[in-house]
Amino acid sequence: MRYWRWASTAAVLLISAKASAQSNVLIYGIIDYGLNFVNNAQTAVPGGGRTGSHQYAMSSSIMQGNRLGFRGTEDLGGGYQAIFVLENGFDIGTGTLGQGGNIFGRQAYVGVSSPYGTITLGRQYDSVVDFIGPITGAVGNGTYSLHGNDINNFGNTYRVNNAIKFTSNTYGGFKFGGLYSFGGVAGSFGTNSVYSAGASYANGPFTAALGYLRARDPNRSFFGNNPNSSATANNLGAINGVQTNPVYGGFDSAAYYQVMGAAFQYGSQGLVLGFDYSHITFGDLNSPSSGTLSLTNPRGYTGTATFNSYNVFTRYAVSPFLWLNGSYDYLVGGAIDGKEGAKYHMFNASVDYFLSKRTDVYFMANYQIASGKDSTGQSAVASYLTITPSNTSHQVVLRVGMRHRF
């Protein structure tokens, strides 16, 4: 009897050990925080109007987005694995949730990986982010280098809800994938839907990528898919008074939003050179499905507004501990209904020093010049993502920060 009792116990232990060896959960994260100086930030004036003032402020998620994540896998046999990711974004300065109050606002999905590729379901990144995002000037230069308030979503400002995504395995350096988000509107399959596709090819020091994204009714399906979003108001932010997103906030009434992009990168012996391009469309403005038109389209635009963005960037490793980064971006477009378009020149530089494999300190310097008429119909002002826009055509942003990864 003792023998059988011992044998049964040993069998249970062996089965448990095997199961634990085949499954794992990884906890990971990034904490990024720093001090900013902005030379000209819009400030409301009592009685109406606005002026520009110097601004000193602390902020999170600039070199990289803050996150706390849980990533799990379970071996199903035959080359198949069950997988999941739950990833939260947060502001370390205030302890508040990121991504509009979502508890797992960065990513939240479950799926299966196989010898043929991976299928996942949930809140996810689109294909532009997956394929083009890793080879842009924002790598090493951070949020402030993103093209016109991240007009093309290369910087992953917006996620996709209720999405099914396929990502292939890599075949001779080639990889591809696609995503579809169901709008969930009865009787109208396409309403509030989002779809994207992309591909990349890597061969030694050379990497190239293509990406496509199209969102129907973007004010609700794409720009406004967080808990604090509105089903009727402008989810791109205020365009009157102290503005939030003058670059494209005035085009929130689009029936569809579309991005076509490409990126190329070459890296060898510590030097990286790259270029990316995107064509952005805000189509069929004055769409009733965008919400209350007096809020989403106060200027009464009709037709389609387009932009083109061009970016060149470089990174250089002075040593394994010290990286120098630089990028230049030119964004042009937004002409509609007799209104001229706008032009934005962005110059970005950073110095990144690694204290260890997981901790670095950095300094950023950014300068922007704007001209023409922006999406609000007013004289274009310099505007950076997460920074209060300038009250004039130019703006300087300086930052000292620290990042820790675990």
Percent of the chain with pLDDT over 90: 90
Average pLDDT over residues 123-151: 96
Residue the block writes with tokens 């365009």: 239
Give the pLDDT confidence score for residue 184 in this predicted structure.
82
Name the pairing type of β-strands 206-216 and 271-285.
Answer: unpaired
Q: Which residue, among 273, 235, 52, 247, has the nearest Cα to 158 in the 3D structure?
A: 235
State yes or no: pLDDT of 17 exceeds 90.
no
Nearest to 256 by CA among 200, 191, 198, 212: 191
**CB neighbour list of residue 158: distance below 8 Å, 6 or more residues apart:** 222, 223, 225
Condensed to tens digits (0 to 9), the pLDDT of residues 62-105 reads: 999 999 999 999 999 999 999 999 999 999 999 999 999 999 99
What mean pLDDT is reported for the chain? 94
| Average pLDDT over every residue of 322-340 | 98
How far apart CA 294 and CA 42 sit, in angstroms, is 24
Mean of the pLDDT values across residues 325-342? 98
Residue 404 has pLDDT above 90, yes or no: yes
pLDDT confidence tier of residue 55, bands split at 50, 70 and 90: very high
In angstroms, rounded to a whole number, what is the distance separating the alpha carbons of residues 152 and 307? 9
30-46: pLDDT as tens digits: 999 999 999 999 999 99
Residue 20: predicted pLDDT: 47
Say yes or no to pLDDT of 10 above 70: no
Checking if the pLDDT of 270 tops 90, the result is yes
Pair 306, 279: CB distance under 8 Å: yes
Q: What pLDDT sits at residue 329?
A: 98
Residue 321 — very low, low, confident or very high, per pLDDT cuts 50/70/90?
very high
| pLDDT in the model for residue 9 | 43
Spell out the domains of the chain, with CATH numbers in brackets.
Answer: 23-405 (2.40.160.10)
Higher pLDDT, 389 or 4: 389
Kindly tell me the sign of the dihedral angle through the C-alpha atoms of 357, 358, 361, 367: positive
**DSSP per-residue string spanning 157-181:** -S-EEEEEEEEEPPBTTEEEEEEEE
- In this prediction, residue 333 has a pLDDT band, given cuts at 50, 70 and 90, of very high
Total count of residues recorded for the chain: 406
99 bridge partner residues: none
Q: Are 232 and 181 in contact (CB under 8 A)?
A: no
Burial call 69-102: b when 16+ CB within 10 Å, e when fewer: bbebeeeeeeeebebbbbbbbbeeeeeebbbeeb
Give the integer Cα–Cα distance in Å for 127 and 166. Answer: 10
Q: How would you classify the pairing of strands 271-285 and 256-268? A: antiparallel
Report the chain's terminal Cα–Cα distance, integer Å: 49
pTM here is 0.91
The bridge status of strand 359-372 relative to strand 342-354 is antiparallel
Distance separating alpha carbons of residues 104 and 130, to the nearest angstrom: 18
Amino acid letter, 144: Y
